[in-house]
Structure 1
Amino acid sequence: MPHNDLTLPEMVAKSEEIRRALTPEFHAYILSLFPTPDKYAQLHNRLEASLTGYLKGDPEQVKECEEAGAELYQAISIINGFSKAVSPIDPSLMNKFNVAPKPATTSAAIPLLAANDLRVHFDKQGLPYCSLTRLAGAKGYELWFSESEPSVESNWSFLTWSTNCQGIYLTGLNRTKTNYLKLRGKRGNTLGPWSNMVILPSV
């Protein structure tokens, strides 16, 4: 009777190859690749600690967060793969971990990057608007402003949302004050890093 496309004689031959390779040392090495609870906690904490800086667009934190995310995803994939492999023996493990990575869509696979060419323009009526080069993977753009010291995070407020990277009009601003502007791409609940900052002078 065949088992998974192998006849019993073929299974004996294949099993002999595995028996010879599966030494105690190799078995220990395989187990060492599986994340320990402490190691997994470290990976999780590293990503969590760098996430705030990533969302603010801090260059160092963006790099740290992306590297931490790649390492954590690798650990999640290992755990998920193990859960699937042993599910014929214990199906409850898949529900226990609940970490099966969702298939990435084309846009979701593209990391959101920071815009570096945000600019302020004026139309024929003298009304100000912003533009930038379209960010790959972004479904829209959040534009924020500050009327005072831009280095203080609490001074920033949300101004407008646009699905277009061109012609984002700056309505609702107090033009008697200097306004600082920055923008970030967004896709679902995913926010990209901040763009370069531009200044709209007072009039």
Structure 2
Amino acid sequence: MGKNRDGGGKDDEIIRASDDLLTSLSKDPSIMQSIYALLPNQEKLQGARDRHRSLFHQVVDGAHDKEAELEAARNDLIAQMSLVNGMANLTGKHDPTIPQKLGLVHQTAGKRPSAAGLSVPENFRMAYDGRSIIVRGSAVKGARSYEIWVCESDPLTEASWRHHATSGKINRIEITGLTPGRLYYFRIRAVGASDTGPWSNFISMMAI
């Protein structure tokens, strides 16, 4: 069976994957209950924030024996925030106002040039092709290559991002080396002879 006209994954592979998923869920309905129990909500986020803030002030005041607890609380808060942000970006495909209201859209992909004249890659998008993630976009005038950066935690923290791939073309970039079942954030920028262009908006995708 061929690919869909919109460049999506093969239908037979998608059907098999969905059948496997539904079979597993039918055998053990508690899986969905466990997933729902782990999903963040405002109460959980508030609790994680309060615990982190309390431990932070205790350590600042000299309670160095609580530094391990502070690190655990920090990681828990980051995880809660990342889940909320990831869910917001996923639902943003159906309601773009959701990530906008949370301040997750920091710039609009368009023709905003950098000092060297490079612009943000337009039409930055990602889709599954079977079990692979394919990146596509519109070529940028003056670009010699394109950098894909990935983030596995808080996409609003610059230190969370790392370089993942460089490609000389932007019409089809295959993303490999991801952990199945993990949520990732991606962004792209054009690279010229002596400068780099501005970042695109980030997109979240779950690896399969």
TM-score between the two structures when normalised by the length of structure 2: 0.43
Q: Structure 1-normalised TM-score?
A: 0.44
Q: Which has the larger radius of gyration?
A: 1
